[in-house]
Amino acid sequence: MPFGAHETMEVHEILLEKINMITHFNFYATETQNQQLIDMIIRHQQEEIRSYNEIVAYTHDYTGVNLVPPNTNIREIQPQQIKYGLNNPPRIAPEIDAQLKDWEVATAMLCAHKNAARNGMWATLECADPNLRRMLLNSATNCANQAYEVFLLMNEQGIYQVPTLKDHTAKEFIHRYQPASDSMQQQYGMQPGPSMGISGQNPGYNAQNAGYQGTSAGYAGQNVGNQGNVMTPNLNPASPQSLVYGGTNQRYGRQ
């Protein structure tokens, strides 16, 4: 069963990127003393290794399609938990420094995950093989969630400050967009009513949403979000069964 030229080259790029991320995350873990950041690095690295191995395994024998469950912690985040606005943001510039600072490590992780999510989605669009497409789409979703988890940590600690517009300006700009009319919805066989995508009538945003919670039929029953019922036992880096670190992580300061 041959792969097409496009998907072959895209998979090559994705696997090379994953190797690069795994290698760099090893380095990042030695450059920070922030235990919360170390834990995140470990979990994200475990997920990248699993994803890399699953894609390699499938491209070798075309069997054993397994979607890697998320190893992120972004459950039940509410909009009011995000810190908006600038509060004396520090001045930054390139430096010559022998040791990375925590904000530099977090920023590097964020950039890596954002690029991986974009590249994974682009590779998905170039795939002909349906199984490989699902695996790359799952990888892109997980990378997007990892990027969001890094952002949440940076935002909580004041590292990533979110600039805002004046409330009136933002609302005037966004509220120009109005719901599609009832007549248009009826014309296309839809149930009339505003905010279908928000009120819970849209299955893409209710409890079956594969992005955040529940069990997704679109991923063969495996949750690619954050609080479904598919979790593997080796996600805890302190566990004796930990995939990467073999239990107690003395190398990175975990006791």
Do 127 and 195 fall within a single domain?
no
pLDDT of residue 228: 37
Choose the weakest-confidence range: 19-33, 104-118, 214-228.
214-228
Do 71 and 183 fall within a single domain?
no
Q: How far apart are alpha carbons 134 and 144 in whole angstroms?
A: 15
DSSP-derived 3-state class of residue 146: helix
Point out which residues pair with 84 in neighbouring strands. 162
Q: What is the pLDDT of residues 179-236, one digit of tens each?
A: 999 999 999 999 876 554 444 444 333 333 333 333 333 333 333 333 333 333 344 4
CA distances 7 to 15, 133, 191, Å, are 12, 9, 39
Q: How far apart are alpha carbons 249 and 151 in whole angstroms?
A: 25
Residue 215 or 116, more confident: 116
Query: What average pLDDT does the chain have?
Result: 79
Q: What is the DSSP letter of 219?
A: G
Q: What is the pLDDT of residues 131-162, one digit of tens each?
A: 999 999 999 999 999 999 999 999 999 999 99
Kindly state the greatest CA–CA separation across the chain: 64
Whether residue 248 contacts residue 50, with contact meaning beta carbons closer than 8 Å, is answered with no
Do 120 and 226 fall within a single domain?
yes
Per-position b or e across 128-146, b if 16+ CB within 10 A of its CB:
ebeebbbbbbbbbbbbbbb
Tell me, yes or no, whether 95 lies in a domain.
no
Do 174 and 78 fall within a single domain?
no
pTM (2 decimals)? 0.74
Number of domains in the chain: 2
